[in-house]
Amino acid sequence: MRQTGIAHPPLPLPPNAQSENLEAFHRWLSEAIPLVPSLGIKRMRWQGEVLNWDLALSANLNDKGTGFGGGLAAQTTLIGWCWVTLWLRAQGRQQDVVVADAGQRFLAPVRGDYRLVCRPRDAAASQRLDTMLAEKGRGRIALLQELYCGDTLCLQAQGDYVVLPSTTVEA
């Protein structure tokens, strides 16, 4: 059982960028954030600079039998946090990530299982983040999240995520 005020131990970095085990990451995430097992995440895929999740609607129903907006908002925020965390891990970095700003626009009801897609807002965003981290040890990136039910775009979201300076103390 997690204790408030006590950080969860980080997941060890993979030996190289191509060896990230997303199933192990999902298990760690489910321990680190107690809400995660309730979100209905069935599968994660990391493809280039795009993170995809397949999700079950049954875990996120509202009183009308469609997707609960608050839960969908939480999922879009979390997938952005995961995008930054996985991107950092691929760079061999283990730093804390926080959401600084987030917003959603609901376009259509979610009536079945769905997928979330997360990527940088623009093509140069990850390069700018890499430069900020190299120069300052911290940085910020803007991400977009889209939720699709079949081919229907049901939700567009965006978030700004901050990578905090490393707190590693040298002996």
Q: How far is the first Cα of the chain from the last one, in angstroms, to the nearest whole number?
A: 32
Domain hosting 115: range is: 38-163
Q: Is residue 170 part of a domain?
A: no
For tokens 């999922």, the residue is 75
Whole-model pTM?
Answer: 0.94
Instruction: List the beta bridge partners of residue 158.
Output: 103, 144
Distance CA 40, CA 20 (A): 21
CATH at residue 128: 3.10.129.10
Strands (E), the chain: 41-47, 50-55, 97-106, 114-120, 139-149, 152-163
Distance CA 118, CA 73 (A): 13
Q: Which long-range contacts (CB under 8 A, 24 or more apart) does 123-127 make?
A: 126/49, 126/87
Q: Is residue 32 part of a domain?
A: no
* pLDDT tens series, the chain, 171 aa: 778 999 999 999 988 767 899 999 999 999 999 999 999 999 999 998 999 999 999 999 999 999 999 999 999 999 999 999 999 999 999 999 999 999 999 999 999 999 999 999 999 999 999 999 999 999 999 999 999 999 999 999 999 999 999 865 443
